[in-house]
Structure formats: C-alpha cells, structure tokens
Amino acid sequence: MRNWDDRVVALTGAGSGLGRALALEFARRGARLALADADEGALADTGERVAATCGHRPRATGLDVADRDAVRAWADETAARLGGVDVVINNAGVGLVAPFEETSLENFEWLMRSNFWGVVYCCRAFLPHLHRSSAAHLVNVASVFGLIGVPAMSTYCASKYAVMGFTEALRHEMRLSRANVRVTTVLPGGIRTGFAGSARKSASVDGDALTSVSARIALTSPERAAAVIAGRLGRGPRRLRVGPDAVLIDLGRRLLGAGVEPLAERVAKRLLPMGWDVHPEPARRNRPRTSPGLGGPESGGTVPR
C-alpha cells in the first residue's frame, strides 16, 4: 500500500460513490483530507466514516463547484488551515440522460457548469498552492465517455471530452514550464454508484429500467476503483484507466478509430431503455422530370427556384 502519510488531499464530490470511496482509501493510507460536496448531509456521513476509519475527522466543506468564488475561498482556506495542498482530485460531477433534442439548453449549461467549469475553477484556484508543494499532483476525473460518444449522453460526453482535452493541454503546459505538478486524467468505466438514479432524465427515458441496466453493466465497485486510483497515482500516469471496460473501450478507440461508432450505436439501442425510432421516414422529394433539348421544366435546362 502506497504511503500518503501527511499529504494534504483536497477532494470534490466526496459525499457518495467514488468520491466517498476515495476519501476512505486515502484516509487509510495516511492522508490529511479536505473534502467537499454540494450535499452537506452526505458529506457529513463521509466525514463520520473517515473518522471511524483513521481516528481523525477531515475538513468538510459544503461546496457547489460551479460557484467560482466559493471554490476559490475553499482552496485558500484549505491551504491556510492545513499548511498547504499536495494533491487535488476533481471528482465532483452530475449526470443527464436525454437525447440532445430533448435536452433544454438550461440543463446543458447546468451540467457543463459542474462537470467542466467546476474542474476549471478548481484547477485555477488550487494551482498557486500546488506550485508550493514538493510533491504536487492534479487529478481530473473524466470518463470513458470522454473517449467515445454515446447516444442519449451527448451533454455528459461533451463535458467529459472537454475535461480530457483541457487536462491534456494543462499537463503539457506544466511540463514545458518545468512546474513540479504532475497532471493525471482518470478514466473510470462503469462504477457501481448511484449515477443512474441521481441523473436528470428526459421523459423518453425509463428511469427504473436505466437503473437496472446500469447495475448489470457496471463492472467495478467504488472501493476497488478507489484502491486502483490511490495505488497507481504515485507513478504519475498521464491517463489512469479504471475497470476492464475502460481498458477495452480505450483500446477499441485506439485500434478501430471511427469503426467503434456503429458498435456504440448498436449497444445503446439494445441497452438504453427508450424508444429510438421517433422520426418518421422523410417524404421523398418530387423532382421535375427532364427531357433533352426543350429548355423548360421538362428539359435539362436551368429552372429558377
């Protein structure tokens, strides 16, 4: 087990799922924790579990990562109270399952504020503190849905593709500027969390069926995912794939390129509990018949439109 003794780890989305499992895993490995989540009740429960695990209570802050000023205040207070920050894990996020044409722009913007801008705000707020650490590490949790587009997940995929590109570019900037900050993108596959139940859904999505399907295809427990992340981060990987499905999807995208897209469509049509055949076949457009040499609608000449 890698030793994280006395490292200060700031973690968002710590109230449930993978975030809670990460909090408990890093606590077992000796880290000092600053936890944040928008759900203060769930966050308090995580704090109790951490205290029971390691004997000391973490700093816990109710936080909406979409609030730029609140994120900045949390970062500054964490560094001041704990004497600095060594590791930042941007894990907070929300879900939305809906075809694009059924997604309001308000819902699209809501998701992007949490899933993408929340990552940007945390990176901007914590980087000045990370530059002062001798063992700084910035970790952004994306998804395999940042590798492949999935029907009815266009908004979520857009946010995760954005996190992927942003994190890759930031990693290059840190290396070129000789900053002592490692940057890692985490790519979880299906994790057995409450994502399907908590995600917003359009009317065409059967929520109960979606939860059932998600439970069947999620291959990795949050505890296993957290152990993999905490265990491998010390190697400073550029990308960290979590779960056998994440490895398979990553390899499929690399080897098949666009050839993986028809497979994604077939799998989505089979697994996602909703009706896909919603658009009628377009009516065949009647075109003018042509006859040679007459120069009118029945000819091959030009007709004004």
- 197-212 per-residue burial string, b: 16 or more CB within 10 A, e: under 16: eebbbbebbeeeebbe
DSSP 51: H
CA–CA gap between residue 88 and residue 75 (Å, rounded): 10
Beta bridge pairs of residue 96: 200
CA–CA gap between residue 130 and residue 132 (Å, rounded): 5
How many helices (H) and strands (E) are present in the chain, helices listed first? 11, 9
CA–CA gap between residue 220 and residue 188 (Å, rounded): 9
Three-state secondary-structure class, residue 31: coil
Which member of 156, 214, 233, 274 is catalytic? 156
List Cβ neighbours of 209 (8 Å cut-off, separation of 6 or more).
273
Tell the residue number behind the tokens 């981060």, with chain if given: 233
Token duo for residue 203: 């009317």
Beta bridge pairs of residue 137: 87, 182
DSSP string, 108-161: HHHHHIIIIIHHHHHHHHHHHHHTT-TTEEEEEE--GGGTS--TT-HHHHHHHH
DSSP 272: S
CA–CA gap between residue 111 and residue 16 (Å, rounded): 18
Tell the residue number behind the tokens 């700093």, with chain if given: 59
Token duo for residue 17: 């799922």
Token duo for residue 198: 């908590």
Residue 156 among the catalytic residues: yes
The residues annotated as belonging to the active site are 156
